[in-house]
Every structure is written in structure tokens, then in C-alpha cells.
């Protein structure tokens, strides 16, 4: 695909580009904790987007989406949100660079890749991070990686309207081959955990459900968490976010909570605890316990945070019945997308066949599955 994208670039713009790449991500555990200043455990995967870029000595940004086969052109003197959906992720990044006084000169772009869109694998973060990384290199801005991550996240807030946390962009930029990243979303300190799993593989089962609810409900969840924090702050002034909350603090003031807000908060606090415990499991090599925590995470997302859907619940339930699976859960924002499954390497084919059959019978849809390999974050390709 890299070569095809570079070739397309030469065909359209008549010059040779530099190519960069940025990956999508999985998240092993720690869902909806990032914007609560908590912990997450993502990893970059071998589903990626490539960016062929070259300056064009004008003040125009010309873009071609390889996957959609669409072109667009924008005046860099007047960057604003566009009606062209896919272009907004790119324009959002340019706008952030300009806001920080980096001079983005005219450039040409062809971008495309193999991250399924809307599958919860962070294709949007990969687009944002890849362009931020590529422009930083192309124009020699010398911006630190963490600043690029924050710019990419802001692009999502301001040009896609999703008030996302920092996990996806961080994972796309900081991924490391065969490692998961335990990220403290408050301090932004991080630690790599070796995931060179001899006996297991990460298998993603894609429901292919793309709920339009996702972004509005996502922003609602954020508000519900903030409402919970506001109640607790009356009693615990040191509480800044759900990260600072313990389950017994919630229990003590339960009567003051709207029951829905209470369940949201309970989920987040429990999930934060689970990430820490799951990392301890990894250190001990206790994958059985790690898998159990994945199921517990799903149950919380399903019943308390209410961001799952029948297709995701069905797939997790099927996985639970398979002797080949250590743990499974929905992954990402929710309302569709993929489940993540830890599957015994010697039973991969059997697992995939069972899941495909069951999904077909239940929903009359051909299940898509991907075996995720863990790769490095955004980088130069050629």
C-alpha cells in the first residue's frame, strides 16, 4: 500500500513525496478512563494510515483520499471546518499548528490505509497524528512528540466535535512494537509493558455496527462524570476528577447522586482500579486473571456505563463460552466497533470459525476478524 500511495501522489502532483505512517490502536483495558484523568493500557497495531507529503510552494493544501478516491483543496490563509468530513481531521491539525504560530506552507498530500473506519480502532487519531508527525518533519518544526499528541487531540475536539481523551492519539504516536503502554492520563507518565505473548494473540471481532449515537453519547458520558465530581467536591475539596475518587466515597454519598450518574462514576472508579490490577497481572504473567478483568470491564461498560450494544454483548458472551479465550470486552468509545479477545494461539482458527458462525446465525452478518500485531507509533517510512 505504501508504494501505491506514493505512486498515486506522483501521478496527481507530478513530484516525489516523503511517506510517513501512523497506526490505529487497541486498548487492552481502561475504557472511558482517559478523560477522567485515569489509567489506560493501549497499544498501536498493524492497521495503519500512510501519508505521502511534499511542499508545493503555494499557499494551498491539496489532499487526496486514497480510500475514498476524493480530492479537495484548501486555502491555508483561511483554515476552517469543512463540509468534507474526512478533510476535517486534517484541517483540524493544520489549524492547531497555525494557532501555535507554526507556518504551515502549501503542501500536497495523498493519504490512505487499512484501518476500518468506525470500528473503534482510532482511524481518526491515526489521521491526526500521522499528519501532525508528517508536517512536523516536512517543515522542520521540531515540535516535541507529546505536543503533537495534544495538538492531534485538540483537532478532534475542535474539528470533529468529539471531546475525546488523550489515549488514542497517545497510542498512535507512542506505540512500541510488542508492548502495551500504561498511560497515566493525568501526569502523562507512561510505562511500556512487554506483550510478546508466546501463547496468545489479540483477535478483534468487528461487529460492523456504526452507531451515529457514539459522539453525542460520548460527550454526555463526560458530562455525567463531571456531575459526579461536582457532588464529591463538596465533601472532598481535593477531588479534581474521578481519578481521585474511591468506591467508598461514592457509596457514602450515594443518596445525593442521580442513579445514572452514580453508576457511571462507579464504573469509572472500578475500571481505573482494574487497569492497575491488570498491569500487576502482566508483571506476574497471570494472563488468566488479566482475562477475567477484561470480562469485568465489559460488564461495567454494558450495565453501568451503558456504552455497549447487543452485537458487542453477544460477541463477548460467545467468547466467554470458548475454551480458547482468556478474556474479551468491547473496546473504544462503544455503541459498535470491535471486541478485543485474548485467544490461545493454538486455537485461533477454531475461535474465528466459531465466532463467524455464531454471528452469522444471530445477526445474518458476516463477522470480520483481525489478528492484531503490536507495532511502533508514527514514523517516517521512506
Binding mask 108-147 for ligand GAF (x = CB under 6 A): --------------x-------------------------
- Residue corresponding to grid cell 455496527: 209
Binder among 31, 224, 281, 311 for ligand GAF (CB under 6 A): 31
Whole-number minimum distance, CB 330 to ligand GAF, in Å? 10
369 annotated as ligand-binding: no
User: Could you tell me which stretch among 27-35, 143-151, 281-289, 361-369 binds ligand GAF (CB under 6 A)?
Assistant: 27-35
* Cβ-Cβ contacts under 8 Å for 74 (sequence gap 6 or more): 60, 61, 62, 63, 82, 87, 91
Residue 129 sits at φ, ψ, to 5 deg, of: -70, -40
Active site residue 108: no
Whole-number minimum distance, CB 26 to ligand GAF, in Å? 11
Residue pair 25/61 in contact by the 8 Å Cβ criterion: no
Q: 35 or 66: whose CB is closer to ligand GAF?
A: 35
What whole-number distance in Å separates Cα of residue 178 and Cα of residue 75? Answer: 41
What whole-number distance in Å separates Cα of residue 254 and Cα of residue 252? Answer: 6
- Residue corresponding to grid cell 497499544: 43
Which one from 168, 206, 244, 304 is the annotated catalytic residue? 168
Q: Does 164 bind ligand GAF (CB under 6 A)?
A: yes
User: Could you tell me which stretch among 31-39, 235-243, 295-303, 360-368 binds ligand GAF (CB under 6 A)?
Assistant: 31-39
Q: Does 174 bind ligand GAF (CB under 6 A)?
A: no
User: Could you tell me which stretch among 82-90, 165-173, 199-207, 282-290 binds ligand GAF (CB under 6 A)?
Assistant: 165-173
Binder among 24, 332, 336, 377 for ligand GAF (CB under 6 A): 332
What whole-number distance in Å separates Cα of residue 141 and Cα of residue 132? Answer: 10
Q: Does 42 bind ligand GAF (CB under 6 A)?
A: no
Coil, strand, or helix at residue 205?
strand
Q: Please tell me what DSSP assigns to residue 96.
A: H
- Cα first-last separation, the chain: 13
CA distance readout (Å), 131 to 53, 70, 72, 81, 149: 9, 17, 16, 16, 11
Binding region for ligand GAF (CB under 6 A): 31-32, 34-35, 122, 164-165, 167-168, 332-333
Give the residue numbers annotated as catalytic, written as ranges: 168
Give binding residues as ranges.
Answer: 31-34, 65, 118-124, 156, 218
Amino acid at each position: 500500500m505504501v508504494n501505491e500511495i506514493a505512486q498515486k501522489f506522483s501521478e496527481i502532483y507530478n513530484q516525489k513525496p516523503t511517506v510517513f505512517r501512523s497506526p490505529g490502536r487497541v486498548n487492552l483495558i481502561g475504557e472511558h478512563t482517559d478523560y477522567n484523568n485515569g489509567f489506560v493500557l493501549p497499544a498501536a497495531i498493524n492497521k495503519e494510515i500512510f501519508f505521502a507529503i511534499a511542499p508545493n510552494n503555494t499557499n494551498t493544501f491539496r489532499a487526496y483520499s486514497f480510500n475514498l478516491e476524493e480530492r479537495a483543496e484548501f486555502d491555508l490563509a483561511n483554515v476552517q471546518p469543512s463540509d468534507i468530513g474526512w478533510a476535517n481531521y486534517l484541517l483540524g491539525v493544520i489549524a492547531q499548528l497555525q494557532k501555535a504560530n507554526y507556518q504551515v506552507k502549501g503542501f500536497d498530500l495523498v493519504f490512505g490505509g487499512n484501518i476500518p473506519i468506525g470500528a473503534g480502532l482510532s482511524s481518526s487519531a491515526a489521521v491526526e497524528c500521522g499528519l501532525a508527525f508528517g508536517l512536523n518533519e516536512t517543515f522542520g518544526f521540531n515540535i516535541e512528540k507529546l505536543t503533537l499528541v495534544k495538538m492531534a487531540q485538540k483537532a478532534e475536539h475542535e474539528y470533529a466535535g468529539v471531546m475525546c481523551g488523550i489515549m488514542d492519539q497517545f497510542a498512535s504516536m507512542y506505540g512500541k512494537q510488542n508492548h502495551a503502554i500504561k498511560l497515566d492520563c493525568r501526569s502523562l507518565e507512561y510505562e511500556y509493558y512487554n506483550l510478546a505473548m508466546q501463547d496468545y494473540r489479540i483477535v478483534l471481532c468487528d461487529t460492523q455496527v456504526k452507531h451515529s449515537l457514539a459522539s453525542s453519547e460520548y460527550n454526555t458520558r463526560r458530562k455525567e462524570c463531571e456531575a459526579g465530581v461536582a457532588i464529591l467536591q463538596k465533601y472532598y475539596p481535593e477531588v479534581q476528577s474521578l481519578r481521585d475518587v474511591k468506591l467508598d466515597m461514592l457509596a457514602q454519598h450515594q443518596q445525593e447522586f442521580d442513579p445514572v450518574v452514580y453508576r457511571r462514576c462507579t464504573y469509572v472508579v472500578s475500571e481505573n482500579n482494574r487497569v492497575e490490577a491488570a498491569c500487576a497481572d502482566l508483571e506476574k504473567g497471570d494472563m488468566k486473571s488479566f482475562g477475567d478483568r477484561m470480562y469485568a470491564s465489559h460488564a461495567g461498560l454494558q450495565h453501568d456505563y451503558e456504552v455497549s450494544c447487543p452485537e458487542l454483548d453477544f460477541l463477548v458472551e460467545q467468547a466467554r463460552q470458548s475454551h480458547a479465550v482468556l478474556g474479551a470486552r468491547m473496546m473504544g468509545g462503544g455503541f459498535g466497533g470491535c471486541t478485543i479477545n485474548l485467544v490461545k494461539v493454538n486455537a485461533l482458527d477454531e475461535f474465528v470459525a466459531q465466532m463467524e458462525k455464531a454471528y452469522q446465525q444471530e445477526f445474518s452478518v458476516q463477522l470480520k476478524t483481525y489478528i492484531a500485531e503490536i507495532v511502533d507509533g508514527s514514523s517516517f517510512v521512506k
